[in-house]
Amino acid sequence: MQKLGKADETKDEMFEESVQNFNKQLMEGTKLQKDLRAYLTAVKGMHESYKKLSECLEEIYEPEWYGKEDVTTIVENTDLLWIDFHQKLVDHALISMDTYLGQFPDIKARIAKRGRKLVDYDSARHHFESLQHAKKKDEVKIAKPVSLLEKAAPQWAQGKLQAHLVAQTNLLRNQAEEDLGRAQKVFEEINMDLQEELPSLWNSRVGFYVNTFQSVAGLEENFHKEMGKMNQDLNNVLTKLDEQHKSNPPSL
């Protein structure tokens, strides 16, 4: 690939900003996915240890104690709450997260492709421009007094040499112009698509974050509400067990 001067590069500050946003968005999404996955693992971990603690209560709870069956029901129900909470987090937050992030690799590849097509386009334009520049120089040369070499050629050849040079230069220039046109078309097609898609993707992040965190917050709210109730129920059963035990002290 040709090294091009700064002035040669097609500037598109808005596009550059879109790409920066895209990278930021991808980074944020990736981090969110990672943190959400870690959170789900922790939910599973806390569920497991909560379950063990509940089962411990069930085991030590003697058959003749007040509310033995209630305790079993509460333990079963809290377990179901945990399972439900975890499953819904997976369904409503993690899966839509995966879908959202699934859009990025294709667009990333197309941003890279656009970069390569821009280099092609810049290179074609540079080539064409240098030929244009040469043409102007030739025209200047024709207007100028002939060179020593030209002077050395026989008089009859002078015109033919001139015509040959002009024709050759025109051919190269036409070819370069065609190449430039093609390169421009390829670039502009991919560029136009991305210029539409990137801001739209960037804009979609707000709704996505809202949905994700509303899902999590909603599921949490419900989970905590239900768990709070279960714990209140357990508290009540234990209060009655305490009363039963205090009013019927065992014969020592």
Contacting residues toward its own copies, per CB under 8 A: 28, 31-32, 35-36, 38-39, 41-43, 45-46, 48-50, 52-53, 56-57, 59-61, 65, 196, 199-200, 203, 205-207, 209-210, 213-214, 216-218, 220-221, 223-225, 227-228, 231-232, 234-235, 238-239, 241-242, 245, 249-250, 252
Nearer of residues 106 and 196 to its own copies, judged by Cβ: 196
Q: 48 vs 178, which CB is nearer to its own copies?
A: 48
| Alpha-carbon distances, residue 155 vs 152, 158, 160 (angstroms) | 9, 6, 10
Residue nearer to its own copies on the CB measure, 66 or 146: 66
Q: What is the dihedral of CA 37, 41, 46, 47, to 10 degrees?
A: 100
Of 170 and 203, which has the nearer Cβ to its own copies? Answer: 203
Cβ atoms within 10 Å of 74's Cβ, excluding its own:
21
Q: Considering the complex, what minimum distance in angstroms separates the CB of residue 70 from its own copies?
A: 13
Compute the distance between CA of residue 91 and CA of residue 85 in angstroms, rounded to an integer.
Answer: 10
Residue 244 is which amino acid? Q
Task: Show the DSSP H helices in 61-152 as ranges.
Answer: 68-89, 95-102, 104-143, 148-152
Q: Which is nearer to its own copies, 154 or 207 (CB)?
A: 207
DSSP conformation class of 93: I
Shortest Å, Cβ 193 to its own copies: 14
